[in-house]
Amino acid sequence: MNTFDNIAAPATGIGGAITILRLSGPDALAIGGRVWRSRTSLAEAPPRTMLLGKVGPDPALAVYMKAPASYTGDDVVELHCHGGAAAAEQALKLVLASGCRMAEPGEFTFRAFVNGKLDLVQAEAVGDVISAGSDMAFKLAEKQLAGALSSRLETLYEELNNLRAEAESHLDFPDEELAWEEGVPERIRAVANELKRLLATRGIGATLRDGVNLVIAGRPNAGKSSLLNRLLGMERAIVTSIPGTTRDTIEASTVLRGLPVRLTDTAGIRSSSDPIEQLGVERSRRSIEGAQVTFWLLDASGDELDLELAEMARHPAPGRIAVWNKLDLAPQRALPELDGPTVRISAKTGEGIEKLLDAFAREAVDTPRPELPEVAVNARHARLLEEAAGLLPDAAAHFECGEFELAGLMLRDALHTVGEIIGKTVEPDILDNIFSRFCIGK
């Protein structure tokens, strides 16, 4: 990605009411002026003023954002054209024929990073904002974009740099018994503790970014699809009184207790001679294996409780919550005690669903009512935090023994590693990996 190129891409999904083409680069203004025409040119009007003109024969609005006061930090021109694939394609063709090349995925945000508009953690947050699957995930991404995590890492980076300087200052006077500043090893350990506090947010970070994989499993007719429909608030799956109604897995996205959830309803598990049903059951098994949380439904009203329990015992399910369903049909029935979290519900009346959601959240994030975290790191951050935190106890110990060279080397490594998180020092392939996951136009 050459940062001096002029790049362009649709910034909106094609097919909406308006398509915005975004141009960024040193010649964005000139190229925009070749494609978009009006009585007053973009160069004449004050920047960030929306003007009406034409792209070819079609009316289109345009705005110029002068470097460095733009999203990318380059000169940016946006052309707001009529929506629809044909209009957008024509305008894009003109732009590409007039000196821009097509932007790669994430390239606008990459430029913002290179131009110092965003650090790497904030650039990742742009991706999180776009892919957020729940209100809580969205709010976390907004905080991270605003710099909540960046500023904490920045503070740690500065402290590590001071500590490194302190250790290295002793190297210049090897023969002197230079008294080292009070409290340096304690400060190193304090940084390690703060890194560990950040590391502890990895779980909730993964849950909010990736969503929880929740699978509903059980014997045929236990009420799995009824529960799916209730959780979604719509009749997504077919429900009948005939065992074996659901033959294939059904997937849906939803939000439970503020957590983004990928929900899978499965075909009821039993041995069957029907080859189609067998394939469905095989899929159910695979879904259960990949689950983070499993609702294992048991029909509390049936006369085959032993069979229900035997089937559950046969299938080790991650994060399993046993769910006695159809409570409305058997309100007084004495049910066997089970190992692990157990909830009683009626998918039909909705009774017990709140308790089920509490149990779900406890299984997913260890608390029935998750709160929005101040910050939450992602897998990349966690890997680097762990690496940095691992170096610090030894660095503190070396410092205490007067082994300042070793202490300094380790502090330098830790500094470098924390710097990688915010993008102060970073390998090109890491950048590629981050930005290529964005959509084109972002």
Ligand X SMILES: Nc1nc2c(c(=O)[nH]1)N(C=O)[C@@H](CNc1ccc(C(=O)N[C@@H](CCC(=O)O)C(=O)O)cc1)CN2
Ligand Y SMILES: Nc1nc2c(ncn2[C@@H]2O[C@H](COP(=O)(O)OP(=O)(O)OP(=O)(O)O)[C@@H](O)[C@H]2O)c(=O)[nH]1
Q: What values do phi and psi take at 358, rounded to 5?
A: -60, -50
Q: Which one of Mg ion, ligand Y, ligand X, none is in contact with 243 (Cβ closer than 5 to 8 A by kind)? A: ligand Y
Q: Is 326 in the site for ligand Y (CB under 6 A)?
A: yes
Segment 304 to 323, residues that bind ligand Y, using CB under 6 A: none
| Site for ligand X contains 70 (CB under 6 A) | yes
Among 79, 239, 343, 388, binds ligand Y (CB under 6 A): 239
The answer for 211, left when phi > 0, alpha when psi is -120 to 50, beta otherwise, is: left
Convert 302-339 to b/e letters by CB count within 10 Å (16 or more is b).
Answer: beebeebeebbeebebebbbbbbbbbbebeeeeeeeee
What is the DSSP pairing of strand 101-102 with strand 7-10?
parallel
Q: Does 241 bind ligand Y (CB under 6 A)?
A: yes
**330: annotated binding-site residue?**
no
Contact (Cβ atoms closer than 8 angstroms) between residue 328 and residue 300: no
Scan residues 327-356 and list those touching ligand Y (CB under 6 A): 328-329, 346-348
Write down the H helix ranges in 105-234: 107-114, 120-131, 135-146, 148-169, 184-199, 202-210, 224-232
224 binds ligand Y (CB under 6 A): yes
Q: Does 379 bind ligand Y (CB under 6 A)?
A: no
Q: Was 240 annotated as part of a binding site?
A: yes
DSSP string, 253-317: EEEETTEEEEEEE-PPP---S-HHHHHHHHHHHHHHHT-SEEEEEEETTSS-HHHHHHHHHHS--
Site string for ligand X, 15-44 (x = CB under 6 A): -----x------------------------
Q: Give the one entry of ligand Y, ligand X, Mg ion, none that residue 156 binds, where binding means its C-beta sits below a cut-off of 5 to 8 angstroms depending on kind.
A: none
49 to 68, contacts with ligand X by CB under 6 A? 65, 68
Q: Which is nearer to ligand X, 35 or 300 (CB)?
A: 35
Tell me the C-alpha distance between 8 and 76, whole Å: 10
**Binding partner at 295 among ligand Y, Mg ion, ligand X, none, C-beta below 5 to 8 Å by kind:** none
Q: Is 242 annotated as a binding residue?
A: yes
Binding residues: 22, 78, 117, 221-226, 240-246, 265-268, 442
Contacts with ligand Y by CB under 6 A lie at 218, 220-226, 239-241, 243-246, 267-268, 325-326, 328-329, 346-348
Footprint on this chain of ligand X (rule: CB under 6 A) = 20, 65, 68-71, 78, 117
